[in-house]
Structure 1
Amino acid sequence: MATFYKEYEPARKAFLAFTDQIKQMTGQSLDVQLTSHEIIEGLFMDVLEIKPDKPQRLLCLTSGLHGIEGYAGNYVLQEFVDCFLPKLNLEDTHVILVHAINPYGMKYKRKSNENSVDLNRNFNASFDTLHSNEGFKTNASFFLPRKLKNPYLIENILFYIRTAKLYFTIPHEQFREAALLGQYEFPNGFYYGGDHMEKSTAILAQLYQKLVSFPYNKRLFIDLHTGYGPKYQMSIVNSPNEKRSVSELKKAFNYPLIQNANGDDFYQINGDMVNYINDFIQATDYATCFEFGTIGMSILDEIKSLRIMLEENSVHHMHRETDPIFKRIKKDFEQLYMPDEKKWLDKVITDFDQALKGILTHYKFI
Structure 2
Amino acid sequence: MMNDAIVDAANRHFSATYFDARRKFHDHVAKAGGEAVAYPSSAQGPGEKDLSTDVAWFGDRRASSVGVLVSATHGAEGYCGSAAQLDWLAGKGHERLESGQAMLLIHALNPYGFAWDRRVTQEGCDLNRNFVDFSAPLPHNDAYDLLADCFVTRELDGPVVEAAEAKIKAFREEHGELAFRKARSSGQYRHATGVFFGGFGPTVARRTLERIVADHGIGARELVVIVDYHTGLGPYGYGELQCEAVSGIAGYERARDIFGLSVTSPDLGTSSAVTLSGTQDEYWQRLLGDRHVYVCLEYGTYSPESGRAAMRADHWLHAYQPSEIETDIGRQIRRRVREHFYPDRLDWKEMVLFRSRQVQRQMVEALHR
Q: How does 1:258-269 map to 2 (within 5 A)?
A: 258-262=263-267, 264=269, 265=271, 266-269=273-276
The residue number in structure 2 matching 1:294 is 301
Structure 1 residue 37 and structure 2 residue 45: aligned?
A: no
Measured on the aligned residues, the alpha-carbon RMSD in Å equals 2.9
Q: Structure 2: how far apart are the matches of 1:179 and 1:20?
A: 42
Q: What stretches of structure 1 of length at least 5 have no aligned partner? A: 24-29, 296-300
1:184 deviates by 1.0
| Structure 2 counterparts to residues 198-217 of structure 1, below 5 A | 198-208=203-213, 211-214=217-220, 216-217=221-222
Equivalent residue in structure 2 for 1:342, among 346, 359, 362: 346
Displacement of 1:294 after TM fit?
0.8
Aligned amino acid, residue 243 of structure 1: I
Deviation at 1:355, TM superposition (A): 2.1
For the Cα contact (< 8 Å) 1:39–1:45, is it kept in 2? no
Aligned to 2:31: 21
With over 3 angstroms needed to count, the CA separation of the structure-2 counterparts of 1:156 and 1:322, relative to structure 1, is: farther
Deviates more, 1:51-60 or 1:270-279: 51-60
The Cα offsets for residues 152-196 of structure 1, whole Å up to 9 and x where unpaired, read as xx9988775553233113344432221111111111111111111
Q: Within 5 Å, which residues of 2 pair with 1:188-337?
A: 188-208=193-213, 211-214=217-220, 216-240=221-245, 241-243=247-249, 252-254=258-260, 257-262=262-267, 264=269, 265=271, 266-295=273-302, 301-319=303-321, 320-321=324-325, 326-337=330-341
Amino acid at match of 1:313: H
Distance 1:244 1:123 in 2: 20
Whether the 8 Å CA contact 1:234–1:257 is kept in 2: the answer is no
Equivalent residues of 2:172, 2:180 under 8 A apart: yes
Change (3 A) 1:33 1:306: closer
- Name the counterpart of 2:116: 108
Aligned length: 348
Q: Which one-letter code corresponds to 2:299 in the other structure?
A: F
1:147 to 142, 155, 158: 155
Q: Partner letter of residue 115 of structure 1? A: E
Partners of 1:50 and 1:90 within 8 A in 2: no
What is the distance in 2 between the residues matched to 1:47 and 1:333? 26
Distance 1:282 1:340 in 2: 38
- Structure 2 distance, partners of 1:248, 1:19, is 30
Using the alignment, how far apart are the partners of 1:55 and 1:245 within structure 2? 22
Please, which of 65, 68, 75 is the counterpart of residue 76 of structure 2? 68
- 8 Å CA contact 1:135–1:178 kept in 2: the answer is yes
Give the superposition deviation at 1:245: 9.0
Q: From the two aligned structures, give the one with the greater helix fraction.
A: 2
Per the alignment, in what secondary structure is the counterpart of residue 58 of structure 2? strand
Identify if the C-alpha distance between structure 1 residues 212 and 78 changes in structure 2 by more than 3 Å, giving closer, same or farther.
Answer: closer
1:353 maps to a residue whose letter is R
Q: 2:231·2:342 contact (CA, 8 Å) conserved in 1?
A: yes
Closer, same or farther: CA 91–311 of 1 in aligned 2, 3 Å:
same
Change (3 A) 1:33 1:341: closer
Aligned to 2:364: 360
Q: Does 1:170 align with 2:160?
A: no
How big is each residue's C-alpha offset from its partner over 1:52-89, in whole Å with a ceiling of 9 and x where there is no partner? Answer: 25322211111111111111111111111122524422
In structure 1, distance between residues paired with 2:129 and 2:222: 30
Instruction: Name stretches of at least 5 consecutive residues in structure 2 with no aligned partner.
Output: 1-8, 45-49
Aligned equivalent of 1:298? none
Cα distance in 2 between the residues matched to 1:193 and 1:286: 23
**Counterpart position of 2:190:** 185
Distance (Å, rounded) in 2 between the aligned partners of 1:327 and 1:37: 25
Query: Stretches of 4+ moved more than 6 A in 1?
Result: 154-159, 245-248
CA 1:90–1:157 in 2, change beyond 3 Å: closer, same or farther? farther
Q: In 2, Cα distance between the equivalents of 1:322 and 1:36?
A: 26
